[in-house]
Chain A
């Protein structure tokens, strides 16, 4: 009944039909593959070396996986959904939903193998783990020796899903749904997967000694830089700078912020891959940086604009969280406070300066995740300490200047790769289906034009 109302008029029917048809074929093919692999997984499980599963560690990483899911749905979906105009909220939420679903499938089928499978020349993982064959319940010696290998795979799946979802803030209110679907799939396989391999999967950046505890480069720099490219290639929203475009529901945004903060404990402290001292120290650093980032952003805004805003304190918290991410497992609480403080200042001014630069990064992905991510990776080179994590390295302030250089190389490499790769993918998608909705559809809003639904009635 609910679905039956006011949904009969439909445009773009023919094109979406063919696209949907293509999508369906892909899904059907996957199921075909499925039956073949179920057998293989089982066969491989018995062969792997036996490491001991710890129930506490497994419980914590399972919980963390669920927490990172909550960052995407409903966290990010509502954070972004509240910031757009009411005619675009469903379209915005839908982008997070569909990215999560699509990447979940791609990751299991091929993404995980390419990112974390046996290393090929430092650049990419092999195809040995395609369809999760060989990824069973026995622990992997590197990827969490006390948890089932599949837990690590799933935890990483959530990271792979949130990264393209973050980018959607830059294309908000104007990207065609079909274009987004194709872009997200390509981006996940062609940008996220290689970067994750370089840093975490035994690739060249990781071997060089670059430190990224929970995804400052892999998640935040890659999504921030790609967001910049998207904002430039897509162009401004209709009426940007002249029309009133205030957030339509800030309490939604705050609810989203709360869930992001909540989920970030899983994101960062879960990256310890166990319930242990490192997880506790990471948890503390995460919280300290978020609180400091929020308070400092508020203070700077108060001084600079005259009023402390609720959106400001929420953005400050997210900036603090994004910035401390790569450092969280290598630093103590006081370093986290300093990092959070700088995050509040730097990201605030990045967002203010955006207005002068002229690109329409609608929901400030560049200012918060890009700038925060870059600063966080460099700050790791300053504040990291072996006293906190013996498996890490000392940073500049602990007598090792070399780490800062390595971190800088990582920033440049990941930023350049994301920049060029995203631009190429966007051009391909533009040629294939076009990137933007028509001007009339944009005026109508994504909810009605792309999904034939109204958020509120």
Chain B
């Protein structure tokens, strides 16, 4: 306890320094930042004559992106928090909720201070963003045409923040019921900085090398789901099994809560995917339609396969299937039509169900099936984008294998492979590091007592 407080206090000055560096460095850089970002209101009257392509804020697009941001927030808290909390034992409900909740707070700060700059700032060698946008200096209310030409740059920044938040929050399902809270905080901060931010840069930022390869990831199949899935696998392996795994009864303590969470995930996912069009119009609509269709199909597919395989259709199965479908459609959502989304959803329901079943044989304890759903679903989605993508849906995309371009499938596979290897190894290294410094797991007595009492001295129900 005392030790963790000490670590927290040592982290504070680091944050303070980052703020200072952020603001100072930022002001010095202002002149160097691309014109549309920093053009002050004063100069605006003069500008149109000189530069006719001056980006203009569209109220409808901005409304949609702001609403989408709030919807993605609802995915993490309360959506994911309740989805996971319902699946753990009642003695760990608060500990599980706390992980999602505190990630929301922690990464919100990290993103504003340095995360956004590392991920989306001016490219350095195709590998990482520069420090020019530290503390959001240079990230103002004028649109940045590189990312979203009709909304304030800060709207794009905060929309992306919610993605950076949910990726590590997804991962918490893998080490549920056994990670020390202080180690979890340090690990999350490191993971966001050294894994998520570079990966987001590679895939989405102007100049990022995976983006330059031509790999497509509309709303985060690689950046969010494959990364959290691969990291979850590393976590489950390094952290080892829960006490009594395989012997004790570990059924979900409150399934209606899990369904509530899954429903809010579904709701928020419309913001996640359709919001990724960063505008309101045809592309957002098409992404919205395929998102809903894939979720519905995957839920039905999972339910049917489970019905055939085990004899009863379960509620947890339907909810997991819906989430699997949502994961799989994420990278494809802006590039495929509704009928392709049925195929993607069907594949997701079947593949992810199989992955969850096989987990038991592989012997690692991915407590809440992050690998099976986000890892496998994300990989299937990224590859399916290489199959079903069509320029008729999104001219800015590419054609997939079924539209006569087998090259895209190869590019997608390469992007998947690189991401999985990078994230898996990187996460393993970070975990070993944190383990060496402060230990990863709670003590055996604390684990038996549950995270609620041992880490937070609270009881969920009384």
Whether A148 pairs with B296 at a CB distance below 8 angstroms is no
**Chain A nearest CB, measured from B334 CB (Å):** 12
Residue interface mask A433-457, B partner, CB < 8 A = 1: 0000000000000000011111111
* A12 is an interface residue with CB less than 8 A from chain B: yes
Within 8 A of A (CB), among B266-322: 266-267, 270-271, 274, 279-286, 288-289, 292-293, 295-297, 299-301, 303-305, 307-308, 310-319, 322
* B433 is an interface residue with CB less than 8 A from chain A: no
- Pick out which of these stretches binds chain A: B2-10, B27-35, B60-68, B225-233: B60-68
Whether A74 pairs with B259 at a CB distance below 8 angstroms is yes
CB-CB under 8 A from A58, the residues of chain B are: 60, 64, 280-281, 284-285
Given A21-B308, A97-B318, A131-B339, A5-B249 contact (CB < 8 Å): yes
Residues on B facing A (Cβ under 8 Å)? 58-61, 63-64, 67, 71, 87, 150, 245-246, 249-256, 259-260, 262-264, 266-267, 270-271, 274, 279-286, 288-289, 292-293, 295-297, 299-301, 303-305, 307-308, 310-319, 322, 336-340, 342-343, 346, 356, 359-360, 365-369, 388, 390, 392-393, 402
Please pick, from B286, B296, B402, the residue contacting A137 in the complex, using a CB distance under 8 A. Answer: B286
Please pick, from A4, A100, A132, the residue contacting B338 in the complex, using a CB distance under 8 A. Answer: A132
Please pick, from A41, A65, A78, the residue contacting B337 in the complex, using a CB distance under 8 A. Answer: A41
Whether A7 pairs with B388 at a CB distance below 8 angstroms is no
Within 8 A of B (CB), among A32-80: 33-38, 41-43, 45, 53-60, 62-63, 65-66, 69-70, 73-74, 77-78
With A31-B346, A38-B390 already in contact, 4 other A-B pairs whose C-beta atoms are closer than 8 Å: A42-B337, A69-B266, A93-B315, A453-B316
What are 7 A-B pairs at a CB distance below 8 A?
A1-B359, A20-B308, A24-B301, A55-B60, A98-B303, A137-B283, A137-B285
Residue interface mask A84-109, B partner, CB < 8 A = 1: 00000110011001101110110010
3 tightest CB-CB pairs across the interface, nearest first? A55-B60, A42-B392, A10-B311
CB-CB under 8 A from B393, the residues of chain A are: 42
**Chain B nearest CB, measured from A40 CB (Å):** 9
What's the Cα separation between A150 and B67 when bound, in Å? Answer: 20
Given A13-B311, A27-B304, A97-B299, A45-B392 contact (CB < 8 Å): yes
Whether A24 pairs with B308 at a CB distance below 8 angstroms is yes
What's the Cα separation between A21 and B292 when bound, in Å? Answer: 24
Q: Which residue from chain A places its CB closest to the CB of B88 in the assembled complex? A: A2
Given A2-B250, A157-B292, A55-B311 contact (CB < 8 Å): no
Given A58-B60, A58-B64, A5-B250 contact (CB < 8 Å): yes
CB-CB under 8 A from A55, the residues of chain B are: 58-61, 63-64, 150, 279-281
**Chain B nearest CB, measured from A295 CB (Å):** 28
Please pick, from B284, B312, B388, the residue contacting A16 in the complex, using a CB distance under 8 A. Answer: B312
**Chain A nearest CB, measured from B253 CB (Å):** 6
CB-CB under 8 A from B319, the residues of chain A are: 97
Please pick, from A16, A24, A53, A81, the residue contacting B281 in the complex, using a CB distance under 8 A. Answer: A53
* A277 is an interface residue with CB less than 8 A from chain B: no
A-B contact count (CB 8 A): 268
**Chain A nearest CB, measured from B43 CB (Å):** 26
**Chain A nearest CB, measured from B409 CB (Å):** 16
Whether A27 pairs with B346 at a CB distance below 8 angstroms is yes
Please pick, from A24, A38, A59, A137, the residue contacting B67 in the complex, using a CB distance under 8 A. Answer: A59
* A83 is an interface residue with CB less than 8 A from chain B: no
Please pick, from A30, A89, A102, A151, the residue contacting B342 in the complex, using a CB distance under 8 A. Answer: A30
Within 8 A of B (CB), among A142-164: 147-148, 150-151, 153-154, 157
Please pick, from A35, A56, A132, the residue contacting B63 in the complex, using a CB distance under 8 A. Answer: A56
Within 8 A of B (CB), among A176-224: 177
Whether B270 pairs with A41 at a CB distance below 8 angstroms is no
Whether A16 pairs with B307 at a CB distance below 8 angstroms is yes
**Chain A nearest CB, measured from B398 CB (Å):** 14
Whether B250 pairs with A94 at a CB distance below 8 angstroms is no
Whether A4 pairs with B259 at a CB distance below 8 angstroms is no
Please pick, from B297, B338, B359, B402, the residue contacting A35 in the complex, using a CB distance under 8 A. Answer: B402
From A6, A16, A101, A450, name the one whose CB has the most chain B CB atoms within 10 angstroms.
A101
CB-CB under 8 A from A177, the residues of chain B are: 313
**Chain A nearest CB, measured from B399 CB (Å):** 11
CB-CB under 8 A from A63, the residues of chain B are: 64, 67
Whether A20 pairs with B250 at a CB distance below 8 angstroms is no
* A355 is an interface residue with CB less than 8 A from chain B: no
**Chain B nearest CB, measured from A67 CB (Å):** 8
Whether B270 pairs with A62 at a CB distance below 8 angstroms is yes
* A3 is an interface residue with CB less than 8 A from chain B: yes
CB-CB under 8 A from B317, the residues of chain A are: 3
Please pick, from B284, B311, B340, the residue contacting A452 in the complex, using a CB distance under 8 A. Answer: B311
**Chain B nearest CB, measured from A31 CB (Å):** 5
What's the Cα separation between A455 and B16 when bound, in Å? Answer: 46
* A349 is an interface residue with CB less than 8 A from chain B: no
**Chain B nearest CB, measured from A97 CB (Å):** 5
* A23 is an interface residue with CB less than 8 A from chain B: yes
From B63, B64, B285, B311, name the one whose CB has the most chain A CB atoms within 10 angstroms.
B285
Residue interface mask A11-28, B partner, CB < 8 A = 1: 111001101110110011
Please pick, from A7, A31, A93, A97, the residue contacting B310 in the complex, using a CB distance under 8 A. Answer: A7
What's the Cα separation between A131 and B341 when bound, in Å? Answer: 12
CB-CB under 8 A from B254, the residues of chain A are: 455-456
CB-CB under 8 A from A455, the residues of chain B are: 254-256
Whether B315 pairs with A97 at a CB distance below 8 angstroms is yes
What's the Cα separation between A1 and B359 when bound, in Å? Answer: 8
What's the Cα separation between A244 and B223 when bound, in Å? Answer: 52
Whether A101 pairs with B279 at a CB distance below 8 angstroms is no
* A417 is an interface residue with CB less than 8 A from chain B: no
Given A13-B311, A34-B340, A105-B267 contact (CB < 8 Å): no
Given A35-B339, A58-B285, A27-B390 contact (CB < 8 Å): no
CB-CB under 8 A from A24, the residues of chain B are: 301, 304-305, 308
What's the Cα separation between A304 and B319 when bound, in Å? Answer: 42
* A252 is an interface residue with CB less than 8 A from chain B: yes
Whether A90 pairs with B255 at a CB distance below 8 angstroms is yes
CB-CB under 8 A from A42, the residues of chain B are: 337, 390, 392-393
CB-CB under 8 A from B312, the residues of chain A are: 7, 10, 12, 16, 450-452
**Chain B nearest CB, measured from A144 CB (Å):** 11
Whether A17 pairs with B311 at a CB distance below 8 angstroms is yes
Whether B300 pairs with A101 at a CB distance below 8 angstroms is yes
CB-CB under 8 A from A59, the residues of chain B are: 60-61, 63-64, 67, 280
Whether A78 pairs with B250 at a CB distance below 8 angstroms is no
Given A97-B319, A148-B285, A10-B260 contact (CB < 8 Å): no
**Chain A nearest CB, measured from B304 CB (Å):** 5
**Chain B nearest CB, measured from A223 CB (Å):** 20
Whether B60 pairs with A57 at a CB distance below 8 angstroms is yes
**Chain A nearest CB, measured from B308 CB (Å):** 5
CB-CB under 8 A from B262, the residues of chain A are: 73
Whether A73 pairs with B263 at a CB distance below 8 angstroms is yes
CB-CB under 8 A from B365, the residues of chain A are: 1
**Chain A nearest CB, measured from B351 CB (Å):** 14
Please pick, from B58, B284, B340, B369, the residue contacting A62 in the complex, using a CB distance under 8 A. Answer: B284
Whether A74 pairs with B260 at a CB distance below 8 angstroms is yes
Whether B315 pairs with A453 at a CB distance below 8 angstroms is yes
Whether B58 pairs with A108 at a CB distance below 8 angstroms is no
Whether B340 pairs with A66 at a CB distance below 8 angstroms is no
